[in-house]
Amino acid sequence: MIYDELCRFYKNFKGRKCIIGYSFAGRPIFAFHVGDDFGRQYISTYAIHGREWITARLGIRHIVRPSDCGGWIIPLVNPDGACISSTIDPMWKANARGVDLNVNFDAGWGTGKFNTRRRGGENCIGDHPFSESESSALAAFTLKIAPFVTFSFHTKGGEIYWEFRGKGDKNGATLLSKATGYSVRTLYGSAGGYKDWCICKLGIPAYTIECGDDGLKHPLTNLSALKSCFGALKYFTENYEK
């Protein structure tokens, strides 16, 4: 399973690393620092949805082939969900409490088109913003690092989202589009995501990158389907100016 793979990678990683928190089932959420220790820093997240665990392998690739700009990479935000997807229900997106972590942030919480309070494999908003240990840990770590930009890698669709309720920076999305070949899109009817929170509460650019062609089926298992994203962080950090 990807969780076991990441545990081994964390143990053997010689650079700066930390555990930002723990999942509901007590699994650590690992973070790895790459690039320059000084200057502006970014945060890049992966596998906040369980069935999108393949993006954790993309995160590992971004660790071993980093850009010069400093940043923190969190390959597996939702370790419990990834384990559930790998062993019980391949389509499971939520955490072990049946809460969809990417609708649990304080950014229009509960106002998304498909939001529900019913626990299950997807779309449950939780009891209140940051009710889940995973989303709370990611938010606290983000506030601590104070990044200049954040990235959220998901599957699938070959699209890039950059805006939340009239705010955001499309210029960075255009750079990511050049790096990946993906289309820049505005997403309607969605709320409570990590990207949304970074844009509206922290006032920083934030991007969701939906990796892989939309014709592929969940869960993706082949990292080569995400190859368009291999150099995305490097290209962005080398060319973005604000």
**Where is 45: in which H helix or E strand?**
strand 41-46
pLDDT band at 204 (very low <50, low <70, confident <90, very high): very high
Q: pLDDT tens across 79-110, in order?
A: 999 999 999 999 999 999 999 999 999 999 99
The residues spanned by each domain of the chain are: 2-239
82 — phi, psi (to 5°)?
Answer: -65, -40
* Structure-block tokens of residue 36: 């320059």
Q: Which CATH superfamily is domain 2-239 in?
A: Zn peptidases (3.40.630.10)
Mean pLDDT of 50-55: 98
68 — phi, psi (to 5°)?
Answer: -70, -35
Mean pLDDT of 14-24: 98
- If phi > 0 it is left, if psi is from -120 to 50 it is alpha, else beta; for residue 27 that is beta
Mean pLDDT of 27-50: 97
47 closest CA partner among 9, 81, 11: 81
Q: How far apart are the C-alpha atoms of 104 and 106, rounded to whole Å? A: 7
Residue 242 pLDDT greater than 80, yes or no: no
Residues 6+ apart with CB under 8 A from 224: none
CB atoms within 10 A of CB 140: 13
pTM > 0.85? yes
Q: pLDDT tens across 131-158, in order?
A: 999 999 999 999 999 999 999 999 999 9
DSSP state letters, 120-139? SSS-B--SSTT-SHHHHHHH
Q: How far apart are the C-alpha atoms of 160 and 157, rounded to whole Å? A: 9
Residue 47 pLDDT greater than 90, yes or no: yes
